[in-house]
């Protein structure tokens, strides 16, 4: 099927989805959850084909694990869909209702975006996750997963589409780009006649490719260097707990700490404690010249080179730099892509205010871990993506960020502009 036709069908389905009641959408979600469990066998069989091929092509154990489905994981995915049912449906709510002086009654009503295109990597759970969140917000979705998950995704989409039809909804509400050609991604990015938003879920390369080639608005995000700046006004044991949490809790996450900026007034005291703590957590330290002496007791220490402070480590590695004050910390962050999650550990109010105001990050923390940047943590109930751009949505995106609004003006034939 050509992408043009896929797009047309999605747009047509989006017209139907936009006027569904919440209970109709929830019934379809319930059918999807039930079918995921009922059709376990065919899904796991398809997943096995992907897994076998992935093993043969020598995919790493970590990637194989991301790809792998089993009964327990499928039950978890079904449970996530049921969780989406319980979330508040933002569609139809009205904001800024008022009567203008000329008599027009004006409001903004939340409506679906229309059609959302999602390009993602080798995680089959994303297929269900995105489809469910789009459905809940009345959006049609066009999905394109990694080629390693092809058979799994086809099986999952078949389950979704049969559940949609069973619920009286158009199957084209959730569609999958079946062919593996990379050119189709480029074509999807230019389908602006039908698609209203593109969400890339993957590495910086995918985002860059979407940014450069898409004629459709793209949500850029999911990466950025995370910083903590710490000064001498805080309890150092507590500060080390926050630093360790930010770095170690899940190093592969985009909100994990990349660079620690240590105020010169606390460096002599803090750096040896940091070395000891990071030794215990098996964290490698990559430090500027001015931090090397203080970190001498670190088991795994190396001098920072070109680009190290522009690196999102995604691993047990931490950049360390001694800075003169909060201003140098801010200047460092501005030149090293602080756009995601950054924190200050300080009880010095002017420094805190300055940091919070100046940080260019989607999420700024005071005396708290960068790991908080997460839709579930923020109570959004779901996370579509974490945006690091400034338009439309910034930081964790929940259901509301999958919506737009329309202005509605009600007159009596007499109100005049």
Nearer to its own copies, 314 or 415 (CB): 415
Query: Of 192, 269, 289, 310, which one interacts with its own copies (CB under 8 A)?
Result: 192
378 lies in the site for its own copies, by CB under 8 A? yes
Q: Is 324 in the site for its own copies (CB under 8 A)?
A: no
Residue 358 touching its own copies (CB under 8 A):
yes
Give the nearer residue to its own copies in terms of CB position, either 34 or 400. 400
Judged by beta carbon, residue 149 or residue 373, the one nearer its own copies is 373
Cα–Cα distance for residue pair 187/271, rounded to 1 Å:
51
Secondary element (H or E) of residue 203: none
Q: In this complex, which beta carbon is closest to its own copies, that of residue 38 or of residue 376? A: 376
Consecutive H or E run containing 253: none
**Exposed/middle/buried for residue 330 (C-beta within 10 Å: 0-12, 13-18, 19+):** buried
CA distances from 299 to 64, 286, 370 (A): 31, 12, 25
Contact 235, 293 (CB under 8 A): no
332 binds its own copies (CB under 8 A): no
Is 8 a residue that touches its own copies (CB under 8 A)? no
DSSP letter (8 states) at residue 143: E
Position 226 contacts its own copies (CB under 8 A):
no
Would you count residue 310 as binding its own copies (CB under 8 A)? no
- Nearest distance from C-beta of residue 404 to its own copies, angstroms: 4
**Residue keyed to tokens 């004050």:** 325
Using CB under 8 A as the binding rule, whether residue 384 contacts its own copies is answered as: no
Within 116-175, the residues that bind its own copies by CB under 8 A are none
Do residues 229 and 355 lie in contact, with contact meaning Cβ atoms separated by under 8 Å? yes
Contact call for residues 330 and 353 (beta carbons, < 8 A): no
**Residue 379 interacts with its own copies (CB under 8 A)?**
yes
At its nearest, how many Å lie between its own copies and the CB of residue 68? 26
User: Binding to its own copies by residue 107, rule CB under 8 A?
Assistant: no
* Residue 350 interacting with its own copies (CB under 8 A): no
Q: Which of 50, 148, 196, 263 binds its own copies (CB under 8 A)?
A: 196
Q: C-beta of 344: minimal distance to its own copies in Å?
A: 10
Residue 5 sits in the site that holds its own copies (CB under 8 A): no
Letter string b/e over residues 361-371, b meaning 16 or more CB atoms within 10 A of that residue's CB: bbbbbebbbbb
Q: Identify which of residues 316 and 378 has a Cβ nearer to its own copies in the complex.
A: 378
Does 95 contact its own copies by CB under 8 A? no
User: In Å, what is the CA distance from 249 to each residue of 123, 180, 230, 242, 388?
Assistant: 21, 35, 19, 10, 22
For its own copies, which stretch binds (CB under 8 A), given 78-86, 96-104, 143-151, 181-189? 96-104
Binding its own copies (rule: CB under 8 A), the pick from 233, 245, 265, 288 is: 245
What DSSP assignment string belongs to 56-84? HTT--HHHHHHH---HHHHHHHHHHHHHH
Q: 255-294 mask for its own copies (x: CB under 8 A)?
A: ----------------------------------------
> What is 104-121 written as a DSSP string?
-EEEEEEEE-SEEEEEE-
395 Cβ contact list (under 8 Å, min separation 6): 362, 363, 373, 378, 386, 387
Number of residues that bind its own copies (CB under 8 A): 70
**Going by DSSP bridges, is the β-strand pair 341-345/227-230 parallel, antiparallel, or unpaired?**
parallel
Residues 378 and 72: their CA atoms lie apart, in Å, by 26
By CB under 8 A, tell whether 252 contacts its own copies. Answer: no
Looking at beta carbons only, is 7 or 114 nearer to its own copies? Answer: 114
| The binder of its own copies chosen from 189, 199, 239, 397 (CB under 8 A) | 239
User: Based on CB atoms, which residue is closest to its own copies, 1 or 238?
Assistant: 238
Q: Work out whether 45 is an interface residue with its own copies (CB under 8 A).
A: no
Is 96 in a helix, a strand, or coil? strand
Check binding of 215 to its own copies (CB under 8 A): yes
Distance CA 335, CA 228 (A): 15
Least distance between its own copies and beta carbon 106 (Å): 6
Distance from chain centroid for Cα 412: 45
| Contact residues: its own copies, CB under 8 A | 15, 18-19, 98, 100, 102, 104, 106, 113-114, 192, 196-197, 211-212, 215, 217-218, 234-235, 238-239, 241-242, 245, 249, 334, 345, 356-369, 371-374, 377-379, 389-392, 394-396, 404-417
């Amino acid at each position: 099927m050509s992408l043009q036709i896929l797009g047309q069908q999605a747009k047509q389905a989006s017209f139907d989805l936009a006027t569904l009641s919440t209970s109709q959408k929830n019934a379809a979600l319930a059918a999807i959850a039930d079918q995921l469990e009922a059709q376990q066998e065919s899904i796991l069989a398809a997943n096995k084909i992907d897994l076998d091929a992935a093993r043969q092509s020598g995919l790493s154990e970590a990637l194989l694990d991301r790809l792998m489905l089993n009964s327990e994981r499928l039950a978890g995915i079904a449970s996530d869909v049921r969780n989406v049912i319980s979330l508040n449906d933002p569609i139809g709510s009205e904001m800024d209702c008022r009567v203008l002086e000329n008599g027009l009654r004006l409001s903004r009503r939340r409506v679906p975006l229309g059609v959302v295109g999602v390009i993602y990597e080798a995680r089959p759970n994303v297929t269900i996750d995105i489809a469910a969140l789009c459905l809940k917000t009345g959006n049609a979705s066009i999905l394109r997963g990694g080629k390693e998950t092809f058979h799994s995704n086809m099986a999952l989409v078949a389950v979704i589409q049969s559940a949609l039809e069973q619920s009286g909804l158009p199957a084209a509400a959730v569609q999958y780009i079946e062919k593996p050609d990379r050119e189709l991604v480029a074509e999807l990015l230019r389908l602006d006649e039908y698609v209203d938003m593109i969400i890339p879920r993957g590495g910086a390369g995918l985002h860059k490719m979407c940014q450069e080639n898409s004629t459709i608005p793209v949500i850029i995000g999911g990466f950025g260097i995370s910083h903590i700046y710490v000064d001498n006004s805080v309890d150092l044991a507590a500060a080390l707990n926050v630093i360790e949490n930010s770095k170690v809790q899940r190093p592969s996450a985009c909100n994990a700490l990349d660079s620690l900026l240590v105020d010169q007034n606390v460096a002599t005291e803090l750096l040896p404690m940091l070395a000891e703590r990071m030794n215990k957590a098996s964290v490698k330290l990559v430090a500027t010249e001015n931090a090397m002496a203080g970190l001498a007791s670190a088991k795994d220490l190396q001098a920072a080179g070109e680009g190290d402070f522009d690196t999102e480590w995604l691993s047990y590695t931490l950049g360390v730099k001694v800075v003169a004050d909060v201003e140098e910390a801010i200047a460092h962050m501005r030149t090293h892509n602080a756009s995601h999650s950054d924190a200050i550990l300080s009880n010095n109010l002017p420094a805190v205010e300055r940091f919070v105001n100046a940080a260019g990050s989607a999420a700024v923390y005071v005396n708290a871990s960068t790991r908080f940047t997460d839709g579930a943590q923020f109570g959004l109930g779901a996370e579509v993506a974490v945006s690091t751009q400034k338009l439309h949505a910034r930081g964790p995106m929940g259901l509301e960020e999958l919506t737009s609004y329309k202005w509605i003006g009600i007159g009596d034939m007499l109100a005049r502009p």
